[in-house]
Amino acid sequence: MFIEVVKSKIHRVTVTEANLNYIGSITIDADLLDAANLIPNEKVSIVNNNNGERFDTYIIKGERGSGVVCLNGAAARRVQPGDVIIVMSYCMMDFEEAKTFKPSVIFPDTATNKLI
């Protein structure tokens, strides 16, 4: 049996931009992606702590060291710059393997979006 489990999580990161006039997605600083074991084009779920919105999109790699977290396209309507969000990805794995699996979870500084 396979189950879906959290693979990666960026817990409490601050939205720096919301760009409605873009194709879509979330742009995230490459340093945060590496630390959380996330890759470009990976599907992610977004939870907005400020307004309760929950939605899915995909990742675009942002400039390394920039602290950028930008929601693009339609997703830009679900956030405001300054909102604090959680970014999560999931994977399917065998039930027994999932019992010992440890997801990659990071807790960046919400003032700078830099790794602590």
Is 25 annotated in the active site? Answer: yes
**Domain residue spans in the chain?**
2-106
Cα–Cα distance for residue pair 95/115, rounded to 1 Å:
32
Q: Is residue 24 pLDDT above 90, yes or no?
A: no
Average pLDDT of the segment spanning 1-22:
97
Average pLDDT, the chain: 97
**Sign (positive or negative) of CA dihedral 95, 96, 100, 103:** negative
- Choose the catalytic residue: 45, 58, 66, 104: 58
CA 19 from chain center: how many Å? 16
Q: Is 90 among the catalytic positions? A: no
pLDDT digits (tens, 9 = 90+) for 77-111: 999 999 999 999 999 999 999 999 999 999 999 99
The answer, as to whether pTM is greater than 0.85, is yes
According to CATH, the topology of domain 2-106 is Barwin-like endoglucanases (2.40.40)
